Amino acid sequence: MTTCVHNPTLFHKHMNTIQQTLRCLLATALVGWWGINSAIGAETEPSILNTRKSPDWLRSAVMYEIFPRNFSQEGNFNAITARLDELKDLGVDLLWLMPIHPTGEKMKKGSIGSPYCVRDFYAINPDYGTTNDFKQLIAEAHKHGMKVIMDIVAGHTAWDSVLMENPAFYHKDTNGRIHPPNPEWTDVAELNYANSDLRRYMIDMMKYWLRDFEVDGFRCDVAYTVPVDFWEAARVELEKVNPQVIILTDSGARPPLLSQAFDMDYSGNLFSTLNQVMSSLSPASLLQESWTHTQAQFSKGALHLRFTDHHNETRATARYGVEGALAAQVLILTLDGVPLFYNGMEVGDATESADPALFEKIPVFWHPGGRPPLRNIYRDLIKLRKQYGAFVDEDVIWLQNTAPGEVISFLRRDAKDEFLIIINLSSRRVTGSVELSDPAGFEPVNISGWTKPLDTLLPDFRLSGYGWFIYHRTVPK
> Would residue 1 count as lying in a domain?
no
**pLDDT tens track of the chain, all 477 residues?**
333 334 444 444 444 444 444 444 444 444 344 443 433 334 444 445 899 999 999 999 999 999 999 999 999 999 999 999 999 999 999 999 999 999 999 999 999 999 999 999 999 999 999 999 999 999 999 999 999 999 999 999 999 999 999 999 999 999 999 999 999 999 999 999 999 999 999 999 999 999 999 999 999 999 999 999 999 999 999 999 999 999 999 988 899 999 999 999 999 999 999 999 999 999 999 999 999 999 999 999 999 999 999 999 999 999 999 999 999 999 999 999 999 999 999 999 999 999 888 999 999 999 999 999 999 999 999 999 999 999 998 899 999 999 999 999 999 999 999 999 999 999 999 999 999 999 999 999 999 999 888 778 999 999 999 999 999 999 988
Helix, strand, coil percentages, rounded to 5, for the chain: 35, 15, 45
- The neighbouring-strand residues paired with 411 are 397, 420
How would DSSP label each residue in 378-402?
HHHHHHHHHH-GGGTSS--EEE-BS
Within this chain, do residues 80 and 163 fall inside the same structural domain, yes or no? Answer: yes
Domain count, the chain: 2
Q: Angle, to 10 degrees, between the axis of helix 196-213 and the axis of helix 131-143?
A: 60
R_g of the chain computed on alpha carbons:
23
Q: Tell which of 350, 372, 391 closes a domain.
A: 391
> Would residue 83 count as lying in a domain?
yes
Within this chain, do residues 37 and 136 fall inside the same structural domain, yes or no? Answer: no
Half-sphere exposure of 412 (CA within 13 A, CB side): 22
Q: Which residues fall within 8 angstroms of residue 282, CB to CB, at 6 or more apart? A: 25, 26, 29, 32, 33, 273, 276
Q: Which domain holds residue 453?
A: 8-43+396-474
Contact 158, 119 (CB under 8 A): yes
Report the pLDDT value the prediction gives residue 252, as an integer from 0 to 100.
86
Domain of 30: which CATH number? 2.60.40.1180
Report the pLDDT value the prediction gives residue 48, as an integer from 0 to 100.
53
459 prior amide bond cis, ω within 30:
yes
Q: What span, in angstroms and rounded, lies between the C-alpha atoms of 199 and 283? A: 46
> Would residue 156 count as lying in a domain?
yes
Report the pLDDT value the prediction gives residue 356, as an integer from 0 to 100.
87
Within this chain, do residues 221 and 105 fall inside the same structural domain, yes or no? Answer: yes
Q: What span, in angstroms and rounded, lies between the C-alpha atoms of 261 and 229? A: 8
Q: What span, in angstroms and rounded, lies between the C-alpha atoms of 421 and 468? A: 8
Whole-model pTM: value is: 0.91
Within this chain, do residues 362 and 425 fall inside the same structural domain, yes or no? Answer: no
> Would residue 153 count as lying in a domain?
yes
> Would residue 330 count as lying in a domain?
yes
> Would residue 48 count as lying in a domain?
no
Within this chain, do residues 69 and 196 fall inside the same structural domain, yes or no? Answer: yes
462: left (phi over 0), alpha (psi -120 to 50) or beta: beta
Report the pLDDT value the prediction gives residue 455, as an integer from 0 to 100.
79
> Would residue 365 count as lying in a domain?
yes
Q: Which residues fall within 8 angstroms of residue 115, CB to CB, at 6 or more apart? A: 67, 69, 98, 99, 100, 101, 103, 125, 151, 358
- The neighbouring-strand residues paired with 150 are 97, 218
Q: What span, in angstroms and rounded, lies between the C-alpha atoms of 159 and 168? A: 14
Q: Tell which of 359, 375, 391 closes a domain.
A: 391
Q: What span, in angstroms and rounded, lies between the C-alpha atoms of 339 and 65? A: 11
Report the pLDDT value the prediction gives residue 30, as an integer from 0 to 100.
44
Within this chain, do residues 305 and 405 fall inside the same structural domain, yes or no? Answer: no
Q: What span, in angstroms and rounded, lies between the C-alpha atoms of 247 and 206? A: 11
Q: Phi and psi dihedrals of 371, rounded to 5?
A: -115, 150
- The neighbouring-strand residues paired with 118 are 103
Within this chain, do residues 36 and 74 fall inside the same structural domain, yes or no? Answer: no
State whether residue 89 is helix, strand or coil. Answer: helix
- Name which of 381, 285, 282, 283 is nearest 327 in CA terms: 381
Q: Tell which of 376, 391, 406 closes a domain.
A: 391
Q: What span, in angstroms and rounded, lies between the C-alpha atoms of 388 and 333? A: 12
Within this chain, do residues 387 and 405 fall inside the same structural domain, yes or no? Answer: no
Report the pLDDT value the prediction gives residue 27, as an integer from 0 to 100.
40
Within this chain, do residues 266 and 367 fall inside the same structural domain, yes or no? Answer: yes
Domain of 354: which CATH number? 3.20.20.80
Within this chain, do residues 410 and 319 fall inside the same structural domain, yes or no? Answer: no
Half-sphere exposure of 72 (CA within 13 A, CB side): 14
Contact 348, 317 (CB under 8 A): yes
Within this chain, do residues 338 and 465 fall inside the same structural domain, yes or no? Answer: no
> Would residue 2 count as lying in a domain?
no
Within this chain, do residues 442 and 354 fall inside the same structural domain, yes or no? Answer: no
Q: What span, in angstroms and rounded, lies between the C-alpha atoms of 191 and 281? A: 39
